[in-house]
Amino acid sequence: MFDDVKKDAAVLSARLSEWRQGFHRRPEIAHQEVETSAALKAFFEQLGLPVRAFAGTGLRADLEGLPGGRTVALRADMDALPLQEEGDKPYFSELPNACHACGHDGHMAALMGAAEILAARKSSFRGRVVFLGQPAEELPPGGAAPMIAAGALDGVDAIFGLHLWQSLPTGKIGIVKGPIMAQSDNFRITVTGRGGHGSMPQATADPIYAAGQIIVALQSVVSRNVDPLKPAVLSFGTVHGGTVYNIIPNEVRLTGTVRTFEPAVQSLMKKRLTEIAGSTGRALGVDAAVEYEDGYPPLINHADSVDFVLRVVDELWGPDARVPFAPVMGGEDFAYYLQKVPGAFIFLGAGDGRPHPHHHPGFDIDERALVQAASLLASLALGFLDEKR
């Protein structure tokens, strides 16, 4: 059923790379995807699709097939990271402190490829395909929830998305039933003491020393409070405090992240973080105020949708395209879509010869994966609309 889809995607190979590299040169961070969104809008309109704006820079384009049938949505995230790119690639970011270091440029190119493949077949399938360009995946509270609130999922029966993944060999598929990505929470701890001269620490309440003890103490939460059979992560990302080598400051600020898959574990982590930071601070004569922000919920794939994806993958490339895959502790606001409609999120390898991980300033993808990504998205849409209910 999908041989012609693969052939059409292969024909698009050069254009897929051109589209992806165009987005890579002009990266726009969360909620600033104006040029990016305009480029997607113009492309969909050239295909004759009506386009509506959602949640600022977000958009939805609808491809109508024959009357009747179901509606399936395909989603690509659009935002770049606030990161200065490194390296010497010919499509290096032209904008300072912004780069596509996570693969969203490839996601958009794959969505465009799928749209072109499907638009040429609109008289051969019954139903509707919805293409979603979503802003702000990288910046909680994200763009998915506002898109949904504005009606971007109206009438949709199922949704599929994919992530090009550096740690998988190019073309290999990783997917699991149930939780596949974690809840991603953020926290800030402000440690307030009493500063003074570094030569007279006895006259101070040292927030630097207290912050260090809080960091060490909080590493016990996962190892001593969480069931070892339940995944959890608590990591610190920033430490800020002080200005001069011989002055003990009044304040130190810490930030970090908590990653979990289950609400009970998340609640425990949140509770222990607040208790341990507060009590450690009090024991050392400082105040440790915790601000905790719930992030994206766990991304939970629907079992029937995963079975469907695997049938499509087997038909496209055979069972050897699948590889064993474990859930990852990264977060993704695609989770919100799957709370509303059935669907699945898929990892597609794009890592051959690419040493730098996601969110590294030297990150890049193997562009051969773009043909497979476009093939997979288009085939998922056609397979879903053709499948008997």
Our answer to whether residue 137 is catalytic in this structure is: yes
Contacts of 27 (CB under 8 A, 6+ apart): 80, 81, 93, 95, 98, 99, 100, 105
Separation CA 47–CA 36 (nearest Å): 17
Q: Are 166 and 357 in contact (CB under 8 A)?
A: yes
Separation CA 67–CA 374 (nearest Å): 25
The catalytic residue among 8, 28, 79, 367 is 79
> DSSP states of 34-78 as a string?
HHHHHHHHHHHHHTT--EEEETTTEEEEEEE-EEEEEEEEEEEE-
Alpha carbons within 13 A on the beta-carbon side of 376: 33
Sign of the alpha-carbon dihedral angle for 187, 193, 198, 201: negative
The catalytic residue among 77, 85, 116, 137 is 137
DSSP bridge pairs for 289: 190
Separation CA 88–CA 68 (nearest Å): 50
Tokens describing residue 8: 């059409």
Q: CA dist 151 to 58, 147, 382, Å?
A: 11, 7, 23
Separation CA 34–CA 38 (nearest Å): 6
Closest CA to 163 of 153, 151, 175, 152: 175
Our answer to whether residue 79 is catalytic in this structure is: yes
Separation CA 299–CA 295 (nearest Å): 12
**Which residues are the active-site residues?**
79, 137
